[in-house]
Each structure stands twice: as structure tokens, then as C-alpha cells.
Amino acid sequence: MTDEVARIIALREELNRHNHSYYVLNSPRIDDREFDRLMKELADLEARHPEVADDLSPTRRVGSDITRGFTQVAHVYPMLSLGNTYSVGEVDDFIRRTETGLAGETVTIVGEMKFDGTSISVIYENGRMVRAVTRGDGEKGDDVTENVKTIRSIPLKLTGSGYPDMFEIRGEIVLPWKAFDKLNREREFNEEPLFANPRNAASGTLKLQNPAEVGRRGLDAYFYYLLGENLPADNHFDNMMAARSWGFKVSDTMTRLNSISDVDRFINYWDTARKELPVATDGLVFKVNSLRQQLNLGYTAKSPRWAIAYKFAAERAMTRLRSISFEVGRMGIITPVANLDPVLLSGTIVKRASLHNEDIMRQLDIHCDDMLYVEKGGEIIPKITGVEVSERLPGSEPVEFISNCPACGAQLVRVEGEAAWQCPNKYGCPPQIAGRIEHFVGRRAMDIDGIGEETAQQLMVSGLVSNIADLYDLTEAKLMELDRFALKSAERIMAGLRRSLDVPFERVIFALSIPFVGETVAKKLARSVKNIETLMSMPVGQLTAIDDIGPKIAESIVGYFSVDTNRETVRRLQAAGLRMETVTVSETGNSDKLEGKTIVISGTFSLHSRDEYKEMIERNGGRNSGSISKKTDFILAGENMGPAKLEKAQKLGIVIIDENQFLEMIH
Ligand code: IVH
């Protein structure tokens, strides 16, 4: 076998792996530019070696995002990808190529944003949405219609006139920066892995099996291509303007460009201006406007000859590594963090960047005092992407991962099947204890006023609280012995602790810091197990029978309750009076607490059903009404409250409360 053939085989394997990481796992291991470089190298080598041609080579397909659980549907027109360019010169070459391909005709080009999300094909018949399908492998994709219907910016019924009886429209589903930040903040709070960028968040969200959750996350969609017979115009731009008039979101950045200098100006302008857009973009797309010219130019096996993408360079800076610190999280996971000489990157000063875990640290091969590349690109969290080896100081040693916990000295253990190291000293390691206390008192858990990060530390260091149950043994007198504690702050904490006795069971479960039990899982558990006794005695097999509880979560729950300290903690919390069971409708009792109040229910709920809430309103003297008016006293809102209702409520200044607030109200 020649060296070149061996390289072809190695490249095919490597690219298949990257395709899987990118499309299936939503977790790319290399950046797009590097991927394109490898793909080009493979395509060039394959062209030289037809004797090893293979229909299944990664050069012959466009990557798959097919997931189990969705029905697969064949595309009417295959969904291709775009060729990439990285410089103005390459875009100019593309335009010249199209003109040559059209025997010297001039072309009008349409310049567009390349939205960084996940592509979607939506079919409309007689003005109604009938199906939405992901790109999949380009030939067939997943039917995600139910999820797409939750995206409010995509019309279900078209407006205006002039649309063909049947057509397909393609676009990009995106998660706007604001929604992305919100989602990641929630995930951080729940200690769920963060999405690296809005693209991963958008494609991950679109593949959820729970349309209500999809709706909650705030996806959006921009459309950029119309396909079908009897389209309204003979050119792309006018077709898109018609699509806009039918109700589709078509970006108003779409522009007709009549010369190469128009194209160059467009690139220069958007290279910076794109940062002001509400959604992530990773480049621009240039398309030949005339449909006749598009048809003449045709397609290669992978992409149209009439369109090209121009990719923005990721923003990158170089700076010196000062030190690496190893941080211990609430669950004992050790995260290496690079402390850097401050450097300006995309408008913010970066001083620290996570190195995630030992494997990533090793791959980068970081030595002490190295000059490191920091990138932001589409990523919100700065990341270290490489080392400038030519700047390495002579004799500098590689940075080693630690083997003992930096906080308590315990020998670290490797988390099974993962790249993470963990400190096993759960009950004796200070940052883990403080982390659990902070989590327990947090707003979304027990919501105990007056205890923040600093106070949690102080309570632990003083020895007053080394376990969450110790919080309920605090007294004003004990608190006032602490530094900087006056009567007022002590009273505030005591009142907060008393109030926390009314916090619903699901938040108590969440507050316990059971690994992998975030807010959503805690809600599911509370709803189905009803009380702590049942939860504590359930084997893995019974837990996995609950919707959305997989073996990993089930084993973690069983593991947690198999530890004596944890059982003891729960007993003490129970004795202190915390809610250890789900409140049933009849238990909410009858009262006149809602006497004379008119209440509208809107959205979907997780603790009780809509009917149960109706019953509770009536049992407590209130009146449930279906529509909002001046007479409405308040709205009990779940997730996905309709936008029309929300607008009306805001106009009339009506108070909106969530289910927890409602339950507290009638207790
Ligand atoms: S045109 C045959 N226009 O980029 C036409 N694609 O790398 C192909 N994308 O799969 C698509 N913004 O997901 C087109 N304005 C835009 C786009 C766009 C984002 C995505 C799309 C496509 C990928 C190609």
C-alpha cells in the first residue's frame, strides 16, 4: 500500500469520527476550518487514486444528525451543504467561476448571513405547514414537526397570497444569544453540562422528545431558500421577499450585490457588524440570484455551484499562562482553570479559561509559562485552543494534573467512563460542603434569605454548619457569636429558615444535591413518588420506570440513599419540619383564602394538572375564568403561556404567579 493510500484510509476514519462528534453528539472535537482542511486533503488524494474509490467515503456525504426516536422522512430535494471560503479573494474567485460557467454572463449575487444553527426543511401544502424535517444525511432526515410547531416565528398557516399549492422552504433554526445565555445559566445552576455554543444548543433542543420543553427554550428560525414548482419569481431575492410576505422570517440583512466591489464591501461591513446581531452567525453566504443561472450552474455531488459560504475567522488572542488552578465543585469534580495575563478578546477582558479536564489539558500539552491561544468564536466561554510552541521558555516543564485534592488532600479518583477526576471525600472536603450548603439555600432550592456564598463559607469554617441539616439547629444566639453578625442579619436568616418549611417537596429533593438530580428530574420524582419514604426505598428498576429517569440517574439516587450520613441528614430535615411529600389536592384543603378572586390559568404545569388547579381554586373560594379581562385578579401561569395572553395581561397590569407561588398562597 502506498503512503497516500494509507493516508486516505486514515483520513476517512478520522473524518467519520469527527462527523459523528459533530452531528450525532453535538460536541465537535475540531473546528470547522480544520475539518474542511482534512476533507479537502482527502478529496484531493481520492481524485489521484480512483482505484480506492468508496461510495461510503466521508467525501460522498454530508454528515448525519439522525437520532433514534424520530420517524425518518426522505427529502424531496436532497439537502446539500455549501463549499467554504475563508478570504475575500476566494469569494471573488467564486464569482468569476460562475461567470465563466455561464459563458461570460454577468451575475447578480445575493449576500446573506450564514446563521449558526441547524438546518430545517419545512413543507407547506395549501398554505398550511405539513411537515418539518432535519437535514439528516442529506437524503433523509428526522421528522421533527411537533417540535418545530413550538417555534413561534415559523408560520403554521401562511398569510398573504401568491404562494404555490405545495412548496418547501429551508432555513436555519437558531437559539438567539439571549435565550442561549438564559438556558446555560439554568444549566449551570442545575450542574448540567453547558452548551458550548448556540448551534449545539439549537440542534440539541430540536431533538428533544418533549415539545413543551422545546417551546420553553425560545428557538427562532430564519429562512433562506425556497423550492418547488410555480414559485412567484424567477430569482432568489424576490422569492424570499414573497416568503417574507407569507409570514416567514427572512433576515433583512439579505442584500443584492451587483459587482465584486459590492461583495467585498458586504464582507468588510458584516465582519464586524454581525456582532450586533441577536443571533450567532459563523459566516456569510453568497448565492447567484437568477434561478435560470442557478439551474445552468447545477451541483457537484456535495454542494451547489451557484452558492458559497465565507467563514468568519474565530476571534483569537495569544497570552501568557500565569498558573493553573484546580477547582473543586459541589460534587467533588476537579476542573483545571488556566489563569492568564489579562487579554482583550471580542470586547471583554479574559483572565481565566477552563481547561475542562485532564484529557483536554494533556492534548494541549501545556508547559509552565507557555503562550496560549484563547478563542471565542461562536463559543461564549473562552477556550484555550493551542500553545505557541516557538515561544516556549527553555527548560519549562509540562503542567501536571494533580493527584490529590487541592482543598482536603484526599487522593483523587477517576469518574467511571469519563475524563473527570473527583475528590471522594464528600463529607470532609470544605468546598464540597460549602458548595452543598450554598446550593441548599439557593433561590431555586430552599430559598433561604440572608445566606449567600460568603455566609455559607463562614458558617462552615466556624463549625456551626457542616451538614445541610445543621442549618435547622441554628439559633439567633449562635449566629450572633459569628463575626459581622448583628441581630438583624441573624433574624433574617432565622425567618428564612422558618419560611423554607413551606418549600414544596420537589425543591427539597433538588436541594439535597443528589448527583444528576437537577430541577426537572426533582419535579418528575416528586410528582411520581409522592413522598420521601418511597423515594428512599426504590430500587433502580422502579426508578427507571419513571418517565425520563435513566439508569445513570436511578443509580445515583439509590447510591445517595445507601449512604448512612445521607439517610440521617434526610431524617433530621424531616424532623425539622421540611416538606417530605407532595401536597395532594385534597390536602390543600378548603379555605376562603381566594374568596372573591377571579383567576385565569394559562400554560402547562409540572406539579399538578390544570384540572387539579381548577379544583384548588374552587376549594379555596376563588373563581376560575377562561379569559383575561379587567376583572381578572391574577394569572396562574405555567410554562409556554400563550403570547397573546401575556400581552393582554401586561397591558392590563395583571399579576402573574407561578405554581409554587400559588401553592404557597393557599397553604
Ligand atoms: S443555503 C443549497 N443560506 O449552512 C443551499 N445555508 O454549510 C444550501 N446556512 O446546511 C444552503 N445560513 O444549515 C444557506 N443563508 C444561508 C444559510 C445557510 C446558514 C447553513 C445551512 C447549510 C449550511 C451549509
511 CB near ligand 1 (under 6 Å): no
> What is the whole-number distance in angstroms between the Cα of residue 114 and the centre of ligand 1?
6
Average pLDDT of the residues in 254-262: 96
114 is catalytic: yes
pLDDT at 529 over 60: yes
**3-class secondary-structure state, position 121:** strand
> What is the whole-number distance in angstroms between the Cα of residue 172 and the centre of ligand 1?
7
> What is the whole-number distance in angstroms between the Cα of residue 481 and the centre of ligand 1?
64
Q: Tell me how crowded residue 55 is: count the other CB atoms within 10 A of its CB.
A: 6
Render pLDDT for 539-564 as a digit per residue (tens, 0 to 9): 999 999 998 888 989 999 999 999 99
CB 255 within 8 A of CB 266: yes
Which residue CA neighbors atom 13 of ligand 1 most closely?
Answer: 119
Which residue CA neighbors atom 3 of ligand 1 most closely?
Answer: 224
Render pLDDT for 623-644 as a digit per residue (tens, 0 to 9): 998 888 889 999 998 877 777 7
CB 573 within 8 A of CB 469: yes
Render pLDDT for 101-158 as a digit per residue (tens, 0 to 9): 999 999 999 999 999 999 999 999 999 999 999 999 888 999 999 889 888 889 888 8
Which residue CA neighbors atom 22 of ligand 1 most closely?
Answer: 81
227 CB near ligand 1 (under 6 Å): no
Alpha-carbon distance values, 482 to 478, 486, 493 (Å): 7, 9, 13
Length of the chain: 667
311 CB near ligand 1 (under 6 Å): no
Alpha-carbon distance values, 44 to 3, 15, 107, 299 (Å): 14, 14, 29, 18
Q: Which three cell numbers stand for residue 436?
A: 452543598
- Ligand 1, atom nearest to 113 Cα: 15
pTM: 0.57
**3-class secondary-structure state, position 392:** coil
Which residue CA neighbors atom 4 of ligand 1 most closely?
Answer: 114
203 CB near ligand 1 (under 6 Å): no
Nearest partner of 419 among 355, 340, 372, judged by Cα: 355
246 CB near ligand 1 (under 6 Å): no
255 CB near ligand 1 (under 6 Å): no
pLDDT band at 592 (very low <50, low <70, confident <90, very high): confident
